[in-house]
Amino acid sequence: MTRSRARLAALFTSASALIALPLALNAPVASAAPSSYSVSTASAGVASAGELALDQSRDELFITDNNARAMSSGGSNFSFSKYPVKPKVTVFSTKSRKVVRSIDLSDQPLGMMLFGPVPLLPVEQSPDGIAIDPKRGRVIVTNAHANGVTSFNMSARRVTPANLLSLPSTHPMGVLANTATGRTYVALNNADKVLILNTSTGRSIGEIGGIYHPSFLDVDNSRHRLYVGNADYIDKKQNFVAVVDTRTNRVIKKITTPSNSRVKVNPVTGDVWANSYDTGKISVIDSNTLQIKRTIETNTTPNKLVFDATRRLAYTANLQKRTVTVLDASSGAILRVIPTGAPVHTIVVDDRTGIVYGTQHMGGNLTIITPKG
């Protein structure tokens, strides 16, 4: 080979490497799935564990005690509690794995529980959904059956009537505190709208209408979008994920999904995962086209879903199946199904340690899933 031809060959090789570099950078990265998990339990300090939220900066979980005098899953399908009703939120240390304090929510006016469309039964403001804003030091809980929202300081020991925002006949469900904007979004299932609160004050500053029976929410600040699932419990005819422009508070699209889908933005890919509790399907929505690009069949009952961005994993809490499913957050492949021995209701993951914490439905304990290897 002549010297000039050798130089050309070298230039070609270098150019090929430069062209391939962006492709390599954009190639899917395999999830760092643990080789095994251990499952343990710890007391949550509640009669009936509802939802929970993790404050990584303080190594604390905030857990709602959703024990209520009566509980309903829609219409006349209701049950009565066997425990004394003492509305509260407990604070659990992830370091000591013990409840370190309790926030008393009992000093609030009673709300009226709906039986069908009719408010009939006075009930305590028992919290169910929860969101926290560590930046502003605030906790916001939804009291679904009493039709109220309570907002208070993270360091509080008790609340007063002034902490309550009464929302008669609305059945508030999912709540999301957007720390980037200081806004909190509350899904008012019976009112067909999402309420917008000032997180610092807990007071209403707006609403988003035109969303039939909204349930749970998540936000993508980079795209100025709020995603809202819906729960058409009775007829199950209107099933969708609503896409809201957070700059205008207008619904820009409704994406048809399987019934009772709950949304979570995937921090690994930017896509939106909508897990259907009713069907076991997860609809993966492309964040650019807002079209469903993949459906994952879990063959379970995925009540809630969370992402571990550090390890590129997703977890679903399968309430009825008493399992937690581990998925690859990039491909959606099911990697493992973990038996929990208890009906896990809501989960969070500490992406520093990879540990998953879940509340046990209508029970007083937490399920703690620890990765090994």
Q: What's the pTM value of the predicted model, to 2 decimals?
A: 0.89
Q: Which residues contact 109 (CB under 8 A, 6 or more apart)?
A: 125, 161, 164, 166
Q: How far apart are CA 344 and CA 347, in angstroms?
A: 8
- pLDDT (0 to 100) of residue 33: 76
CATH code assigned to 50-301: 2.130.10.10
**80-100 tens-digit pLDDT:** 767 788 999 999 999 999 999
Output phi, psi for 103, to 5 deg. Answer: -110, 115
- Among 250, 154, 151, 159, CA closest to 204: 151
- Among 133, 130, 113, CA closest to 122: 113
117 vs 40 pLDDT, higher one: 40
- pLDDT (0 to 100) of residue 15: 40
**202-250 tens-digit pLDDT:** 999 999 999 999 999 999 999 999 999 999 877 778 999 999 999 999 9
68 vs 220 pLDDT, higher one: 220
For the cut 60, the answer to whether the pLDDT of residue 66 exceeds it is yes
Q: Which amino acid is at 210?
A: G
Q: How far apart are CA 160 and CA 172, in angstroms?
A: 20
Tell me the average pLDDT of the chain: 90
On whether the CB atoms of residues 67 and 83 are closer than 8 A, the answer is yes
Q: How far apart are CA 128 and CA 154, in angstroms?
A: 17
For the cut 70, the answer to whether the pLDDT of residue 8 exceeds it is no
- The DSSP-derived string for 212-233 is SSEEEEEEEGGGTEEEEEE--T
Q: What are the residue boundaries of the structural domains of the chain, listed by start?
A: 50-301
Q: What Å distances lie between residue 185 and 248, 261, 290, CA to CA?
A: 14, 18, 21
Q: How far apart are CA 147 and CA 168, in angstroms?
A: 5
